[in-house]
Amino acid sequence: MTYTFYKYQGTGNDFILIDNRQLEFCKNNTKTIKLLCNRRFGIGADGLILLEQHDTLDFKMVYYNADGNESSMCGNGGRCIVAFAHFLGIIKNSTQFMAVDGEHKALIEDDIIKLKMQNVPEVSLFDTHVFLNTGSPHHVQMETNLAHLDVKKIGSQIRYGEPYNALGANVNFVTKNKESNFSVRTYERGVEDETLSCGTGVTAVAIAMHAIGETEKNLITLETEGGKLQVSFENNNSEYKNIWLIGSANYVFKGEIVC
Residue 163: asked if its preceding bond is cis (omega within 30°), the reply is yes
Contact by Cβ (8 Å): 248, 11: yes
CA distance 73 to 78: 8
Residue 37 catalytic?
no
DSSP states of the chain:
-EEEEEEEEETTEEEEEEE-TT--S-TT-HHHHHHHH-TTTS---SEEEEEE--SSSSEEEEEEETTS-B-S--HHHHHHHHHHHHHTTS-SSEEEEEETTEEEEEEEETTEEEEEPPPB---EE-SS-EEEESSSEEEEEE-S-GGG--HHHHHHHHHHSTTTTTT--EEEEEEEEETTEEEEEEEETTTTEEES--HHHHHHHHHHHHHTTS---SEEEEEETTEEEEEEEEEETTEEEEEEEEEE-EEEEEEEEE-
Catalytic choice (37, 74, 80, 259):
74
CA distance 240 to 194: 27
Catalytic choice (26, 80, 198, 259):
198
In this structure, are strands 59-65 and 94-99 parallel, antiparallel, or unpaired? Answer: parallel
Residue 198 catalytic?
yes
- Please give the positions annotated as active site: 74, 198
